[in-house]
Amino acid sequence: MEDFSFWDLFVSIFWFTMLLAWISLLIHILSDIFRDSSLSGGVKALWVAFVVLLPWLGALSYIIARGSSMSERSRQAMADQDAQMRAYVQDAAGGSNVSSQLKELAELRDSGTISTVEYEQAKTKVLT
């Protein structure tokens, strides 16, 4: 049985880390392929086949050909997700919050659109 030295441990950790980095890169490339709405289905299938069948050449080719716009698509996806989350929270909270409703009522009162009595009635409704 061969001894497993301290150096061998570091080499094994290095190669395992490289494997995880490679898998992460492939996942990012594949998710970017499917996220891109400018590519047709056939082109997406060709890119996926190229990346899966010839991983090193496919990944390198994809990064060279389409890598500059990968971050833009990622940024847009995060912005879309953030907007969806904000809309969900706003909807779950029941629309606008109390402070914004009171501010709108005060603006309507100050502009003369509603009277002070109407303002007080609406304020009572908002606060209850």
In angstroms, rounded to a whole number, what is the distance separating the alpha carbons of residues 67 and 27?
Answer: 14
DSSP 93: T
State which amino acid sits at residue 44. K
In 1-128, which ranges are E strands?
none
Confidence at residue 96, expressed as pLDDT on a 0 to 100 scale:
60
Residue 98 has pLDDT above 80, yes or no: no
Confirm if 30 and 51 have CB atoms less than 8 A apart. Answer: yes
In angstroms, rounded to a whole number, what is the distance separating the alpha carbons of residues 60 and 49?
Answer: 14
Question: Tokens for 82?
Answer: 């953030």
Would you list the domain boundaries of the chain? Answer: 1-71, 96-128
- pTM for the model stands at 0.60
Residue 119 has pLDDT above 60, yes or no: yes
**Average pLDDT, stretch 69-74?**
89
In angstroms, rounded to a whole number, what is the distance separating the alpha carbons of residues 82 and 91?
Answer: 14
Question: Tokens for 79?
Answer: 């912005």
